[in-house]
Amino acid sequence: MKNIIFICFLFLTFNQVNAQSETIETIETIENINLIIKYSPVSLANVIYPSMQFALEHRIGERRTLQYEFGGLFYKNPLYSNRGNTTIFRGLLEYRWYKETPTFDKKNKFQGIGFRFQQRVDDETQFSFAREGFVNILSLDNVNTATGVYYTRGFQRVYKNRFSIEFGGSFGIQYYDVSVRDMPQGTDEIALNNTTGLFAFQPGSLFVPMGFLVLKVGLVAK
């Protein structure tokens, strides 16, 4: 009888210690996911604003996070010898809420709303300008800026080796504006005609819908 009581006591003690260990491990697991450093490989596939994009996501609540994404690209146009440099900058700020508290080795769905800013500057873009019966060729900086808000949805998984991956999609609306820098006095921006480059961006502005794919790989830093 004593042996049976002793065995039962050991069994209960083991279960209690194991439960406490799992609770501690779960708490530590949740608390460890406070900051994730990410890279977006699909950002280079953007037709107008290709860039090298990096992001930081940090937790601000049990199931809420803020994500800051930034990046850019600088290159010489390889197709046109008379074209100057191209400079691209992209920045995003996103507020997310997850279905569950982020933990390791588990897929977690998320939704979010965000703000995106993109700008592309093509130096020495050739524009034609007709005045007094003559066609003048001007080399001006063409500036393309897109500012918008979006809704995003997808899932993220963080593995036990601290590696993360996320996939989803976003859609929204943006204000797209094309302008020209350093125009000579007396030049009408609307009358400028840009026919060079892979895309001929004409001066003007409009609201247009936007949509983009979300794919990021990352590493838990804290």
- CA 171 to chain CA centroid, nearest Å: 13
Domain span at residue 5?
A: 1-32
Q: Tell me, what amino acid is at 53?
A: Q
Q: What is the pLDDT of residue 28?
A: 44
- 122 and 205 within one domain: yes
Residues 96 and 9 in one domain: no
Domain count, the chain: 2
Both 88 and 20 in a single domain?
Answer: no
Phi, psi of 8 (to 5 degrees): -65, -40
Q: Are residues 14 and 95 in the same domain?
A: no
User: Do 91 and 24 have their domain in common?
Assistant: no
Please write the tens of the pLDDT for every residue from 56-101.
Answer: 999 999 899 999 999 999 988 766 666 688 999 999 999 999 998 8
Residues 79, 183, single domain; the answer is yes
Bridge partners for 142 per DSSP = 122, 180
Same domain, 27 and 55: no
Tokens of 81: 């010898």
Are 173 and 161 within one domain? yes
Question: Are 70 and 91 contacting, i.e. CB atoms less than 8 angstroms apart?
Answer: yes
pLDDT at site 3: 44
Asked if 99 and 11 sit in the same domain, the reply is no
Same domain, 22 and 118: no
Q: What is the pLDDT of residue 70?
A: 96
Tens of each residue's pLDDT in the chain, 222 residues: 444 443 444 444 444 544 444 444 444 444 568 899 999 999 999 888 999 999 999 999 989 999 999 999 998 876 666 668 899 999 999 999 999 888 888 889 999 999 999 999 988 877 777 766 667 778 788 899 999 999 999 999 999 899 999 999 999 999 999 888 877 776 777 677 776 665 667 788 899 999 999 999 999 998
| pLDDT for res 81 | 61
Looking at residue 58, which CATH number applies to its domain?
2.40.160
Asked whether residue 206 falls in the same domain as residue 112, the answer is yes
Q: Give the pLDDT of residue 197.
A: 60
The neighbour count for residue 116, using CB atoms within 10 Å, is 21
Q: At residue 6, what is the residue type? A: F
Structure tokens at 39: 């890279």
Question: Looking at residue 6, what is its pLDDT?
Answer: 39
Asked whether residue 42 falls in the same domain as residue 151, the answer is: yes
pLDDT of residue 110: 96
